[in-house]
Amino acid sequence: MPHTTTRSTRFARLIPSKALLGTVLALTALIAGALPAAAAPGGPDRPVVAVAQGALRGRAHDGAQEFLGVPYAGAPVGEFRLRAPREPSPWSGVREADRQGPACLQFSPFGLRDPLAVSEDCLHLDVYRPRDARPGDRLPVIFWMHGGAYSQGTGTQFGGRAMAALTNSVVVSINYRLGQLGYLGLPELAGEGAERSGSFGLMDQIEALRWTRRNIASFGGNPGNVTVSGQSAGSGSVCGLLAAPSAAGLFHRAVLQSGPCTLLRTPDAERAASEARAFAARAGCADPAAVAVCLRAADGAALVDAARTLPTSGPASGDGLLPRDPAGAIAAGTWNKVPVLIGSTRSEARFFVALTQPRLTEEEYERQVSATYGAAGPEVLARYPVAAHGSPYLALSALMTDSAFACETARTARLFARQVPTFAYEFDDPDSPTLAGAQVPGLDESNAHSAELAYLYDFTMGDRPLTEVQRALGTRMQRYWGAFARYGAPVVAGQTPWPATGPAGTVLTLGPAVTRPDPAFAADHQCAFWWSRQVPPLQG
């Protein structure tokens, strides 16, 4: 039976290839390292913390303390590949935690500093805390999940030192399994456990939250005040946690950046199984009776090669782990209800168009719009004329930003706002950096997808450092995020008040020159048109 076409499948259909979508969504800078055995004295510069598995020795860095490369689950290798995560093994003595672990195996690499700095033994996390934090401080916890189209990326590129020190919070940044090793909806694999799911990446995220609940008090964090947060596919992962019954009680606020739940829809079990069988067959594991054994024995590089041009759709819905698509669960009120902070960047789609259709002509633009929208094509072109935007690249970027990210962010925010305190934002810095390696000469890629990341975290993928004015904006944003994590509302003394999103759909514009509430966000992005026509978002 054919599955219903969702906004996310329409979103992907017009991209030249799914692999390329994975590439342009990538946010990957890898910092490799082994754990040295040599011990060193403790103290403020080499703090020691006891967790359930043993003692960890971290290090002081830039006004904070960091504990890096900490295993939160056992290595998912060999017979444990394509299985639910298990608790990590204990260790004796003091484990050095001063180097980050490898990224998980990448299924569509982008921007790798060291292509060899990947491993299936990757279920690690990094913990950052203020330099004077001690057990019992009960500081708010910000739990970060990276993006990358569920097929690439690593938590190691998001340092939490500045956020921890400025906001007096504990930051946790995690890795989770990617690609078909993280999301493979084969019934032969999903038959294990009550959840009966192949969404191993989502299971990893839940396991990391369980580790955090058990251990974060040792770092000075409050296990009763955890904020899950993510960007792009990381935001889609937040959507999954909001709808997963087994994640209930593991977190208490949620931040969704550039990944609204109504856009990043989950595949159903039938579609997920069909995609998984196509992958297994390409990997030489077509026999259903032997597919699990075959896939667990296959070479990791061969699995990556088998996945080329095949979709990685992220977690599937319709199983015990994720019974319902998150957007549907939120609309129905059957989700893990917590306060929400949600937003997007002013020109999200510039990133995607720049890397897929950078030299688009006016004729090609008009032909693409007409082919996609049919009878509605003339009205779409009238609303997004090339003359008004200056180039086909900018016109298509505006069209894609509005129809997909901006208006779906507004739609998702309104679903939340009917049920929980909700705070919406739009990041708007017309001179923002973009991702290193993603620049196309002659194209303005400011304010695009991922632009806000360098303002919130010690981000390693910016193409240039922030200016003094931009750093000041970053400080304001970190304080808002930290207050939301602490109180469930971004209330910061001396900063512009951030009103909750209500029927008017007010958002807070976050810019270097001005931070102000904007009740006209939906009108600025022509959302009434996109919502009333139910037309699909156009992608490059």
Which tokens go with 193?
């456990």
Report helix angle 392-400 to 362-373, nearest 10: 30
Q: Which residues pair with 66 in a beta bridge?
A: 59, 128
Work out the widest C-alpha separation in the chain, in whole angstroms: 72
Report pLDDT for 44.
78
CB neighbours of residue 214 within 10 Å: 15
CB 140 within 8 A of CB 169: yes
pLDDT in tens, 214-237: 999 999 999 999 999 999 999 999
CB neighbours of residue 15 within 10 Å: 18
Q: How far apart are CA 104 and CA 385, in angstroms?
A: 43
Scanning 37-178, the segments in alpha helix (DSSP H) are 161-167
Report pLDDT for 207.
98
pLDDT in tens, 48-91: 999 999 999 999 999 999 999 999 999 999 999 999 999 999 99
Q: How far apart are CA 440 and CA 418, in angstroms?
A: 41
Classified as helix, coil or strand, 95 is strand
Residues near 304 by beta carbon (within 8 Å), at least 6 away in sequence: 105, 106, 107, 179
Q: What one-character DSSP code corresponds to residue 247?
A: G
Q: How far apart are CA 128 and CA 61, in angstroms?
A: 10
Higher pLDDT, 281 or 112: 281
pLDDT in tens, 86-136: 999 999 999 999 999 999 999 987 755 666 689 999 999 999 999 999 999
Pairing of the two strands 158-159 and 458-459: antiparallel
CB 87 within 8 A of CB 17: no
pLDDT in tens, 173-186: 999 999 999 999 99
Confidence of residue 29 (pLDDT cuts 50, 70, 90): very low
The angle at the Cα of 343, spanning 337 to 346, to the nearest 5 degrees, equals: 170
Residues near 196 by beta carbon (within 8 Å), at least 6 away in sequence: 190, 319, 320, 321
Q: Is 244 exposed, middle or buried (0-12, 13-18, 19+ CB in 10 A)?
A: buried
Report pLDDT for 113.
61
Nearest to 536 by CA among 28, 107, 11, 90: 11
The identity of residue 319, as a single letter, is D
This prediction's pTM:
0.91
Nearest to 404 by CA among 511, 531, 503: 531
Residue-by-residue DSSP string for 357-396: -TT--HHHHHHHHHHHHGGGHHHHHHHS-HHHHSSHHHHH
Nearest to 498 by CA among 344, 339, 341, 338: 341
CB 368 within 8 A of CB 468: no
The rounded radius of gyration (Å) of the Cα atoms in the chain is: 22
pLDDT in tens, 418-430: 999 999 999 999 9
Confidence of residue 400 (pLDDT cuts 50, 70, 90): very high
> Following CA atoms 286, 287, 288, 289 in sequence, which dihedral angle do they give, to the nearest 10 degrees?
-150
Report helix angle 200-215 to 233-243, nearest 10: 70
Report pLDDT for 540.
36
What are the φ/ψ torsions at residue 382 (nearest 5 degrees)? -65, -35
Query: What order do you get walking across the sheet with 94-96 strand by strand?
Result: 48-51, 54-57, 94-96
* Residue appearing with tokens 């008090």: 217
pLDDT in tens, 436-472: 888 899 999 999 999 999 999 999 899 999 999 999 9
CB 258 within 8 A of CB 229: no
Q: How far is CA 531 from the centre of its chain?
A: 25
Q: How far apart are CA 30 and CA 101, in angstroms?
A: 9
What are the φ/ψ torsions at residue 271 (nearest 5 degrees)? -65, -45
Residue length of the chain = 540
Q: How far apart are CA 1 and CA 147, in angstroms?
A: 32
Nearest to 120 by CA among 282, 247, 316, 302: 302
Report pLDDT for 115.
61
CB neighbours of residue 361 within 10 Å: 13
> Which domains, and CATH codes, for the chain?
7-338 (3.40.50.1820), 343-533 (3.40.50.1820)
CB 177 within 8 A of CB 340: no
Residues near 124 by beta carbon (within 8 Å), at least 6 away in sequence: 69, 70, 71, 72, 100, 101, 174, 175
CA end-to-end span of the chain, whole Å? 29
Classified as helix, coil or strand, 264 is coil
